[in-house]
Amino acid sequence: MVRSGSDDGHVVLRVEPVLSRFQQNLLVHLAPESKSFPVRFRFLSGPRTEPIAPQVDRQMENRASGPELVLVFSGKRKSGKDYITDVIQDRLGPEVCAVLRLSGPLKQQYAQERGLDLNQLLGSGPYKERYRADMIRWGEDRRNCDPGFFCRLATRGAQQPVWVVSDARRQSDLQWFRSEFPRQTRSVRVQCSEETRRQRGWSFTPGVDDAESECGLDRGVEFDWTIRNEADAPSLDQQLQPILTAAQDAAVLRHDQ
């Protein structure tokens, strides 16, 4: 769209026949307030070229649809990560909170390449355990080539103001979210004793429990919140309160935009 003068004292705006909301608003601001200065709109046909305004409009839409808070959870097997993140979603509601599992797209890609049953890989039975070590090695190879590969797949299509990543396992997972969403990202560690984990069905498996997928975030990370998920810890409601408050504030921020 170009603003120019004409011989009869009018202002001529070259406007494409189809206008985005951004362009419509821009027309309003370009129109003079004085009634003594007329504005005439001339719609010109011809080859369509990509204007700058729609690009700006798309960027504004992408920022508006991004998260206001990203909670990246990590913890050992059988520490209760999935249970706690499901509780958070139940408290906030699915329209506010999306639970994103990095293992979902990983298992989907692995199942496709290996010709395996995805539903059983997503479960907690012996079928998944049979392939776990190989799946870990396969996932590491993918991450070495592209550290954000599974993070991008997991977040695709999420529109809620609060994202809860339930299963970060490596430094590269946390680094990707901190790089992409530096203002919004907070880290949460779920901890419990080995005895409590054994009571929940855990036993040490070589090649799994000593791999980076289980130990990558054990050291070198200063977590924003730590939750002790066992019987002698403070109540889960009490430990989750500051996290839920931050999430509710994020939902209000999105609503006010």
Cite the DSSP H helix spans in the chain.
21-30, 52-65, 81-92, 103-114, 118-122, 126-145, 149-155, 171-180, 194-199, 212-215, 236-256
Q: Which of 46, 35, 39, 52 is nearest to 3 (CA)?
A: 39
pLDDT of residue 112: 93
Amino acid sitting at position 256: D
pLDDT of residue 124: 76
Contact between 14 and 42 under an 8 Å Cβ cutoff? The reply is yes
pLDDT of residue 46: 46
pLDDT of residue 257: 74
Contact between 108 and 91 under an 8 Å Cβ cutoff? The reply is no
pTM of the model: 0.69
Edge-to-edge order in the sheet of strand 2-5: 2-5, 11-15, 39-43
Query: Which architecture does CATH list for 69-104+151-256?
Result: 3-Layer(aba) Sandwich (3.40)
Q: Taking the C-alpha atoms of 72, 228, 77 and 157 in order, what is their torsion angle to the nearest 10 degrees? A: -20
pLDDT of residue 177: 98
pLDDT of residue 136: 87
Q: Which burial class, exposed, middle or buried, applies to 78 when counting CB atoms under 10 A from its CB (0-12, 13-18, 19+)?
A: middle
Measure the CA–CA gap between 76 and 195, rounded to whole angstroms.
13
pLDDT of residue 60: 36
Measure the CA–CA gap between 73 and 247, rounded to whole angstroms.
14
pLDDT tens series, the chain, 257 aa: 544 454 555 544 444 444 444 344 434 343 444 344 344 434 344 444 444 333 434 333 444 468 999 999 999 999 999 999 999 999 999 999 999 999 888 899 999 999 999 999 988 788 988 998 899 899 889 888 998 999 999 999 999 999 999 999 999 999 999 999 999 999 999 999 999 999 999 999 998 899 888 999 999 999 999 999 999 999 999 999 999 999 999 999 887 77
DSSP string across 49-113: ---HHHHHHHHHHHHHHS-SEEEEEEE-TTS-HHHHHHHHHHHH-TTTEEEE-THHHHHHHHHHH
Q: Which of 103, 250, 252, 97 is nearest to 163 (CA)?
A: 97
